[in-house]
Amino acid sequence: MTVDPIIQSLKGKLIVSVQAYQGEPLRRPEIMATMARACELGGAAAIRCQGLSDIAAIKGRVEVSVIGLWKEGHEGVYITPTLRHARACVMAGADIVAIDATDRPRPDGKTVADTLEPLKAEGVLTMADCMTIDDIRRAVEMGFDIVSTTLSHGVAAIDCTMADGPDLPLLRQAAEEFPGFPVICEGRVHTPEEARAAIDAGAWAVVVGTAITHPTSITSWFKAALDA
């Protein structure tokens, strides 16, 4: 199996997800770009971000690779749901495009394969955001460059508590079934110890978002500890 140099450069490394939610005070491209640069200075090997404005702003501020996605809606398939969304991410500057790789109905009525095939033909690197081991198996067979446990937790990151940890059982199963394939751990990684545990469980790389770049959630965790 040939691994693209960009993806190879992520092996054993930290990827930071730099995103803000609708209505939050940090939801401005220039703020996201500044935060991404701060994460790069801290050692992030890549930045994962969403929205065309944020992708473009962050790509202009960092030297590391950018994993781009476009969220549209809040339910069902909303992470880069169509080929149009994926191509727009590429045009905005994404080095890798993250796509919902579940088999749930998509807004354009197409399948995941329908979305992936043109991107592969165009030389676009793709990351499969998966929910189950079956999603991962299909994504590997279809030809995604990376698979990830992004959707296995089933709820938005801001709805998780600090006590919720990463899906290490799914990660281990995927890493065992596909040795040497870039399987990334994403979702509910809230401490350095959990990030290390993910690498030890076979993760190619680890994505951390909320625990680094979402101060509202981090503050709420401390408040909850004091209120207990």
- Could you read off the pLDDT of 52-69 as tens digits, one per residue? 999 999 999 999 999 999
Q: What is the pLDDT of residue 155?
A: 75
- Could you read off the pLDDT of 72-104 as tens digits, one per residue? 988 899 999 999 999 999 999 999 999 999 999
Of the candidates 157, 167, 165, the one whose C-alpha atom is nearest the C-alpha of residue 218 is 157
Q: What is the pLDDT of residue 73?
A: 86
Question: Residue 57, CB half-sphere, CA atoms under 13 Å: how many?
Answer: 19
Query: Do the beta carbons of residue 49 and residue 17 sit within 8 Å?
Result: yes
Q: What is the pLDDT of residue 164?
A: 86
Q: What is the pLDDT of residue 223?
A: 96
> C-alpha angle 69/145/112, rounded to 5°?
60
Q: What is the pLDDT of residue 113?
A: 97
Q: What is the pLDDT of residue 154?
A: 78
User: Which residues of the chain register pLDDT less than 50?
Assistant: none
DSSP assignment letter at 71: B
